[in-house]
Homo-oligomer: A and B are copies of this chain.
Amino acid sequence: MSSALVVFSGGQDSTTCLGWAKNRYEHVETVTFDYQQKHSIEIEQAKKIAEILKVPNYIFIIDIFTQLADSALLDVNKDQDINASHHSKPNLPASFVPNRNAIFFAIAHAYAQKQGLEHIITGINQTDYSGYPDCREPFVKSLEMSLNMGSESNIVFKYPLIDLTKAETFKMAKDEGVLDLVIEESHTCYNGDRSLKHDWGYGCGNCPACVLRKKGWNEYSWL
């Protein structure tokens, strides 16, 4: 395997993927999406981690989702409760942004074509019960085929965390030599909190992302 593009948010999962990719590919690049998330801290951490690991990091600025204005994860809907159900899809969480991964992956795939990169690595994961249908393996496999068909490409999506629990993701970070980086620099907290330090990293400790990370850390200590 020679070249890969890591879809890199600066969170625990994609930081682990970046470590994994660095150990397997000759050439690794990263792409980050600035889509006016509630907290720009995620982007700052992504830049910082890419610098530490000495990989190119390209940031796409995407205001499609603010134009769609349909989700609690966006700045424009700041007052919406992040823990509630999605307003137009009651079976999905409020944080669901329609077609978010489809749009991100289509852009990453175009960028990989431009840069001549063979694989795209994403940290998507279908075990954390987040309820996002665009984080499941059949979706990514289907989209991979669609995008390759539409561009006469042959780019392969890899998702090393797809069936891992958060505890196993901590273990993979350890095995790939990036556990300290994950703890110190990766950011996951939905509330953008980096004032509180815990064993498992920084965050408010109460939002769904922090609860999941904390639970994963506790289980990891038993692995």
Contact = CB atoms under 8 A, between A and B. Distances in A.
Interface in A56-108: 60-64, 67-68, 70, 88-89, 91-92, 98-99, 101-103, 106-107
Contact of A150 (B101, B107, B151): B101
A138 B152 CA distance: 13
How many copies of this chain does one complex carry? 2
A99 B110 contact: yes
Contact of A134 (B64, B68, B98, B150): B150
Contacts of A61: 63, 67
A205 to B, nearest CB: 31
Interface in A100-132: 101-103, 106-107, 109-111, 113-114, 116
Contact of A143 (B62, B64, B146): B146
Nearest to A147: B102
A36 to B, nearest CB: 13
A145 B133 CA distance: 13
A67 B60 contact: yes
A133 B107 contact: no
A139 interface: yes
Among A113, A116, A136, A152, the most chain B Cβ lie within 10 Å of the Cβ of A152
15 contacts: A60-B67, A64-B107, A88-B113, A98-B110, A98-B113, A98-B151, A99-B150, A103-B103, A134-B150, A138-B149, A139-B146, A139-B149, A142-B145, A142-B146, A146-B146
Interface of A: 60-64, 67-68, 70, 88-89, 91-92, 98-99, 101-103, 106-107, 109-111, 113-114, 116, 133-134, 136, 138-139, 142-143, 145-147, 149-152
